[in-house]
Amino acid sequence: MVPPDDGPLPPPRRWAVVAAAIGAGIGTGLLGTSLHGHALYSGAVAVPLGAVAALVMLAAVELFVGLWSRNSWTVVLCGAAAYLCAGLLSMQRGAFGMISANIQGTVWLYGIALVTPLAAWLSWTILRRGRR
């Protein structure tokens, strides 16, 4: 037996949207930082597969948060939280830093700043089409 359809869900509350965006950004920043260091070496050239996978994960999480909240600005908030988390983890504490100044670290840190506006634009485009 199929349950009756009660129509669309109500929009989430503002505090829930902000908490979800920040939490998803911090979680993705932590997971992406742990993933970004994996690389495929072809001779002396490193292909940053881990950083690319981390950026794909970030884009998916940001798009999910933006479409769930029905607001493309939450994508920017999620990306800012991920960038802040990755930035704090990249700080060199003595001889230890989780994000090094190599190709993987560069792709991960600069990629966050590139993927976030693209995901916000994609979220905005999808939400705008849904309102027509």
> 89-110: per-residue pLDDT in tens?
887 766 666 666 777 888 888 9
Classify residue 67: in a domain, yes or no: yes
- pTM comes to 0.83
Classify residue 110: in a domain, yes or no: yes
Residues in the chain predicted with pLDDT less than 50, given as ranges, are none
Classify residue 126: in a domain, yes or no: yes
The domain in which residue 78 lies consists of 47-89+101-132
**What per-residue confidence (pLDDT) applies to 55?**
94
Classify residue 122: in a domain, yes or no: yes
Per-residue b or e along 61-100, where b marks 16 or more CB atoms closer than 10 Å to that residue's CB: bbbbbbbbbebbebbbbbbbbbbebbeebbeeeeeeebbe
d(CA 132, CA 86): 37
Classify residue 120: in a domain, yes or no: yes
Domain tally, the chain: 1
